């Protein structure tokens, strides 16, 4: 990934290295920031002596030491061929690399221990202030506002420390990864497998900050609310049986996960399901088993197409495999025009009862018999759960639903207890795992889930064909706002920032099935082609964890012979390998840059109107590619294949003929108009690129299309409008034919014939267009509803018919 600065316009942009040709060179006036420069520009003062010596290691690779004579000889002429890498060079390089790893690992460990001690000290101070507040008498003065402000500043400083440590770790891990790759490429010695073992022995990059985030969230919430945090039930199940929310989903790059958590905890506390126990990693684990018919994939296609009433059935549990409570859930999609909202309903079931329930051996009445006796829930709530259990059981038995896919992730939820108006959840380490027995491999067998795995991410024991590890975290913003009420300002800034990438209607179930069953699924979700696109972006506006006074000391280096690695790894640096853009890094260093142009926010969709320098993605719909139709027909064979082949060949020939005729017809050509100052400010001076993603042969990319009843009515009204037009023209034709002069009425007959032909053409055209549009609406295809030629042709024909009638009538009256 390259960071580019235009010296003429003083603007910065980033360019994907995946799309850079091998011999690409920046045009004059552009500065290309390489990783070494990004490393220097992103240095934090506190860590400036503990970063990896990337430049030194790179210099050692380019100038191997060897014997003194060889080194002297190599300095005499720079044009001599590069000396072969020896075992002594390898030992020296590995020794230096090991010392750099020890330096980074030691600093990370020391800083992590320091942060833990500071959190413990702040916890004692906060508890002391809150206890004084709660135990004060009627006439006693409690803690002052100044004390709370000092505590808040101290916690903010700790939050910034956690943020800086996370960035330090990310940047160094990228540096080690890149220098190892450069070593293997330049020397021919393969060091990566060996060094992976050393990294596992000193895993500075695997530090988990979830426990620190939970503690900081609790303390910050106490201080922010001045010792009066919101109270209420925050259980993971129970009261959340049926609820309705407006949900938007985003992808988050792993480099931005910690920063995102720290930003959110300043506004919402982490939702802890069991405050009485110490936080453990297993507490945030969530596992779901999704069911579907492996022959027809009804649930998959229904959820993908968002058809009215589409369902998703899953069994979910929280924590480890020893959890006895399993939630049976059903999601039901409702179209907006129905006046209803999509609903998730669920009920609890003991693990030992799951198999009998799914086989039909345990009836819903027996499941809720104990609940009725205990009387802990109302009769109405029990009746709703019983009806839900009966409907799900009937669907599983009737339609042959089997376990097909498992999703596992760690969830960090942010929400005020007993207040669901704003709920934000961040799912990390998302993995989709096969649960089926379709290929002869016994995974779940006759059980409702497979038992050979638990929550031991990254599930190294599974073969690659059984698991898909999602490269990003999933952010879900769930709002329960009143009619017309806007979400909080900080939420709007968060979802329009560089930290997230909006992916509307993303589904773990859909992605898992599409990824794990490539030979059985032909309809793909629209986001699948975007999996190879780096989602990291430059900073759009001033938003994030910031702390004044932390500038960096940087040095300059004229390293002009650095090559560009064709690195496709997810941790490749794009906007600074630590997740920051070069603009942000320069700001840290105290450099003066022109102010960033504010990016307008789309109020309706709560997304950013990004500059058009970003790529625009176009998708081949399921009716746009003749290759897809031909591939499907080839699998069917017989007359179907030959008919499709003839149809596609005719379409290509007609299209080529039409394009050739258009070239022959003289017509005005479009003239490129230069961008004005305002458009240059918004879009930049670069070329606007379009990318077209094409699905593999035999596959289709499903593009979401919203269809409501008013769309059908609009198509019918358009058809009736054309029909009315045709009736008027036919009436004119009948009038000219029946009431014209009988003798010598040839002109009148010709005019009547012209109007008759026009009326027939109008009727035929309206019927064909209506049938085409109706079919496109029913199948939810992305069709072009803009009619460019029909009205023009018919109006021209009407003009000719009227003119002919006028001319012939004038001749019959001997006017000319």
The predicted-structure confidence for 548-570, as pLDDT tens digits, reads as follows: 444 333 333 334 334 434 333 33
Alpha-carbon span 677 to 777, nearest angstrom: 42
Alpha-carbon span 808 to 332, nearest angstrom: 66
Q: Are residues 302 and 450 in the same domain?
A: yes
Write down which residue in 650, 676, 699 finishes a domain: 699
How many domains does the chain contain in total?
4
Kindly tell me if the per-residue pLDDT of 328 is higher than 70. Answer: yes
- Contact between 544 and 259 under an 8 Å Cβ cutoff? The reply is yes
Share of the chain above pLDDT 70, in %: 72
The answer as to whether 676 is a domain residue is: no
Q: Phi and psi dihedrals of 312, rounded to 5? A: -135, 130
Write down which residue in 699, 722, 747 finishes a domain: 699
- At residue 223, the pLDDT reads 82
Select which of 508, 537, 699, 700 is catalytic.
508
What is the band of 429 on the pLDDT scale with cuts at 50, 70, 90? very high
Residue in 508, 377, 366 with CA at minimum distance from that of residue 433: 508
- Contact between 174 and 38 under an 8 Å Cβ cutoff? The reply is no
Q: Are residues 724 and 650 in the same domain?
A: no
Tell me the CATH number at 281: 3.20.100.30
Alpha-carbon span 221 to 130, nearest angstrom: 12
- At residue 694, the pLDDT reads 67
- Contact between 258 and 162 under an 8 Å Cβ cutoff? The reply is yes
Q: Are residues 184 and 275 in the same domain?
A: no
Triad 222, 225, 227: Cα angle to 5°: 50
Q: Are residues 526 and 558 in the same domain?
A: no
- At residue 628, the pLDDT reads 62
- At residue 681, the pLDDT reads 63
- At residue 629, the pLDDT reads 67
Bigger pLDDT: 514 vs 802: 514
- Coil, helix or strand at residue 245: coil
- At residue 484, the pLDDT reads 58
| End-to-end Cα spacing for the chain | 77
Lowest mean pLDDT across 33-47, 449-463, 736-750: 736-750
The answer as to whether 544 is a domain residue is: no
Give the model confidence (pLDDT) of 445-474 as tens digits.
889 999 889 888 889 889 998 999 999 999
Q: Are residues 588 and 638 in the same domain?
A: no
Give the model confidence (pLDDT) of 204-257 as tens digits.
877 777 778 888 888 888 888 887 776 655 544 434 444 456 788 999 998 888
Q: Are residues 177 and 284 in the same domain?
A: no
Highest averaged pLDDT of the listed ranges 176-190, 558-572, 738-752: 176-190
- At residue 660, the pLDDT reads 82
Highest averaged pLDDT of the listed ranges 272-276, 486-490, 666-670, 674-678: 486-490
Q: What are the helix and strand counts (H, E) for the chain?
A: 22, 20
Which pairs from 434-438 meet CB under 8 Å and 24+ separation?
Answer: 434/404, 434/405, 434/406, 434/465, 434/466, 434/467, 434/516, 435/289, 435/290, 435/403, 435/404, 435/405, 435/406, 436/294, 436/402, 436/403, 436/404, 436/405, 438/294, 438/517, 438/520
458 upstream amide cis, omega within 30 of 0: yes
Kindly tell me if the per-residue pLDDT of 329 is higher than 60. Answer: yes
Task: Specify the pTM.
Answer: 0.68
Give the model confidence (pLDDT) of 282-308 as tens digits.
888 999 999 999 888 999 988 888 888
Tell me the pLDDT of the chain averaged across its residues.
75
SS (H, E, C) 73-142: HHHHCCCCCCCCCCHHHHHHHHHHHHHHHHHHHHHHHHHHHHHHHHHHHHHHHHHHHHHHHHHCCCCCCC
Q: Are residues 717 and 627 in the same domain?
A: no
Q: Are residues 88 and 196 in the same domain?
A: yes
The answer as to whether 768 is a domain residue is: yes
Per DSSP, which regions of 130-245 are E strands?
242-243
Mean pLDDT along residues 415-444? 87
Alpha-carbon span 488 to 197, nearest angstrom: 47
Residue 454: partners with Cβ closer than 8 Å, 6 or more residues away: 320, 321
Lowest mean pLDDT across 76-90, 633-647, 648-662, 755-769: 76-90
The answer as to whether 605 is a domain residue is: no
Q: Are residues 87 and 191 in the same domain?
A: yes
Alpha-carbon span 526 to 523, nearest angstrom: 9
Give yes or no: 508 in active site. Answer: yes
> What one-character-per-residue DSSP string does 400-455 give?
T-EEEEEEEEEEEEEEETTEEEEEEEEEEEEEEEE---TTS--SSTTSSS--S--S
The answer as to whether 23 is a domain residue is: no
Alpha-carbon span 473 to 251, nearest angstrom: 6
Q: Are residues 587 and 629 in the same domain?
A: no
Alpha-carbon span 701 to 524, nearest angstrom: 5
> What one-character-per-residue DSSP string does 758-798 give?
HHHHHHHHHHHHHHHHHHHHHHT-------SSHHHHHHHHH
Lowest mean pLDDT across 153-162, 376-385, 629-638, 640-649: 629-638
- At residue 287, the pLDDT reads 94
The answer as to whether 674 is a domain residue is: no
- Contact between 805 and 751 under an 8 Å Cβ cutoff? The reply is yes
Write down which residue in 649, 676, 699 finishes a domain: 699
Q: Are residues 437 and 480 in the same domain?
A: yes
Structure token digits, residue 739: 């009431």
Q: Are residues 506 and 569 in the same domain?
A: no
Residue in 599, 588, 500, 510 with CA at minimum distance from that of residue 549: 588
- Contact between 353 and 362 under an 8 Å Cβ cutoff? The reply is yes
Distance, C-alpha 491 to centroid of its chain: 17
Task: Provide the residue range defining the domain that includes 654.
Answer: 618-662+685-699
The answer as to whether 596 is a domain residue is: yes
Alpha-carbon span 333 to 566, nearest angstrom: 43
For the chain, how many residues are written? 816
What is the band of 3 on the pLDDT scale with cuts at 50, 70, 90? very low
Mean pLDDT along residues 68-89? 56
The answer as to whether 672 is a domain residue is: no
Could you give the residue ranges of the DSSP H alpha helices within 35-78?
Answer: 35-41, 54-62, 68-76
């Amino acid at each position: 990934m390259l960071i580019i600065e235009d010296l003429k316009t003083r603007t910065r942009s980033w360019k994907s290295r995946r799309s850079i040709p091998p011999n690409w060179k920046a045009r004059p006036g552009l500065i290309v920031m390489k990783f070494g420069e990004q490393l220097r520009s992103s240095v934090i003062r506190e860590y400036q002596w503990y970063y990896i010596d990337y430049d030194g290691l790179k210099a050692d690779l380019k100038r191997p030491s060897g014997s003194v004579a060889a080194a002297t000889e190599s300095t005499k002429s720079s044009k001599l061929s590069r000396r072969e890498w020896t075992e002594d060079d390898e030992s020296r390089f590995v020794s230096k690399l090991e010392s750099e790893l020890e330096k980074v690992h030691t600093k990370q460990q020391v800083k992590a221990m320091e942060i833990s001690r500071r959190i413990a000290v702040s916890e004692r101070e906060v508890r002391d202030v809150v206890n004084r507040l709660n135990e004060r008498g009627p006439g006693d003065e409690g803690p002052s506002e100044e004390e709370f402000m000092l505590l808040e500043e101290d916690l903010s400083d700790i939050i910034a420390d956690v943020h800086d440590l996370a960035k330090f770790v990310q940047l160094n891990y990228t540096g080690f990864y890149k220098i190892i790759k450069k070593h293997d490429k330049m020397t021919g010695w393969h060091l990566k497998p060996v060094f992976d073992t050393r990294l596992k022995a000193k895993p500075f990059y695997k530090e988990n900050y979830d426990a620190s985030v939970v503690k900081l969230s609790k303390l910050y919430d106490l201080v922010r609310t001045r010792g009066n945090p919101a109270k209420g039930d925050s259980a993971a199940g129970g009261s959340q049986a049926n609820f309705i929310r407006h949900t938007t989903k985003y992808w988050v790059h792993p480099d931005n996960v910690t920063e995102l958590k720290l930003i959110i905890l300043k506004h919402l506390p982490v939702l802890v399901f069991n405050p009485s126990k110490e936080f453990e990693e297993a507490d945030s684990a969530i596992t779901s088993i999704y069911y579907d018919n492996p022959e027809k994939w009804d649930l998959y296609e229904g959820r993908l197409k968002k058809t009215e009433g589409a369902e998703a059935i899953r069994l979910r549990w929280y924590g480890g495999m020893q959890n006895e409570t399993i939630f049976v859930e059903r999601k039901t999609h409702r179209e907006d025009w129905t006046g209803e909202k999509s609903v998730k309903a669920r009920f609890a079931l003991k693990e030992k009862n799951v198999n009998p329930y799914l086989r039909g051996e345990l009836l819903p009445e027996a499941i809720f018999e104990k609940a009725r006796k205990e009387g802990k829930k109302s009769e109405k709530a029990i009746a709703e759960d019983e009806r839900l259990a009966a409907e799900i059981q009937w669907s599983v038995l009737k339609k042959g639903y089997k376990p097909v896919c498992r999703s596992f992730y760690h969830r960090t939820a942010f929400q005020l207890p007993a207040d669901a108006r704003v709920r934000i959840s961040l799912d990390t380490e998302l993995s989709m795992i096969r649960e089926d027995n379709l290929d002869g491999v016994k995974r779940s067998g006759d059980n409702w889930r497979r038992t050979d795995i638990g929550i031991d991410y990254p599930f190294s024991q599974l073969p690659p064909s059984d698991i898909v590890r999602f490269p990003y975290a999933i952010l879900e913003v769930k709002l329960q706002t009143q009619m017309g009420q806007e979400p909080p300002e900080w939420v709007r800034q968060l979802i329009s920032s560089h930290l997230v990438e909006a992916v509307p209607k993303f589904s773990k179930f859909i992605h898992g099935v599409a990824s794990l069953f490539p030979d059985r699924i032909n309809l793909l979700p629209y986001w699948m082609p975007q999996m190879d696109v780096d989602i990291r972006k430059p900073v759009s506006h001033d938003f994030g964890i910031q702390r004044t006074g932390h500038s960096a000391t940087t040095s300059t280096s004229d390293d002009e012979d650095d090559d560009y690695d064709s690195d496709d790894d997810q941790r490749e640096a794009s906007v600074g390998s630590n997740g920051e853009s070069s603009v942000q890094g320069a700001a840290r260093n105290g450099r003066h840059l022109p102010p960033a142009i504010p990016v307008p926010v789309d109020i309706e969709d709560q997304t950013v109107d990004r500059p058009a320098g970003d790529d625009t993605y176009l998708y081949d719909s399921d009716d746009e590619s003749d290759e897809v139709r031909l591939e499907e027909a080839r699998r069917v064979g017989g007359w179907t294949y030959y008919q499709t082949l003839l149809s596609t060949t005719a379409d290509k020939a007609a299209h080529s003929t039409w394009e050739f005729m258009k070239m022959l017809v003289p017509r005005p050509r479009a003239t490129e108009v230069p961008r004005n100052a305002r458009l240059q400010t918004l879009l930049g001076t670069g070329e606007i690129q379009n990318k077209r993603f094409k699905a593999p042969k035999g596959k289709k990319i499903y593009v979401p299309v919203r269809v409501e009843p008013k769309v059908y009515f609009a198509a019918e009204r358009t058809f009736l409008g054309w029909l009315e037009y045709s009736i008027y023209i036919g009436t004119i034709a009948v009038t000219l034919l029946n009431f014209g002069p009988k003798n010598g009425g040839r002109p009148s007959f010709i005019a009547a014939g012209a109007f008759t032909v026009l009326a027939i053409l109008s009727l035929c055209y309206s019927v064909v267009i209506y049938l085409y549009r109706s079919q496109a609406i029913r199948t939810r295809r992305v069709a072009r509803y803009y009619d460019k030629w029909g009205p023009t042709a018919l109006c021209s024909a009407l003009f000719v018919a009227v003119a002919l009638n006028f001319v012939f009538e004038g001749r019959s009256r001997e006017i000319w």
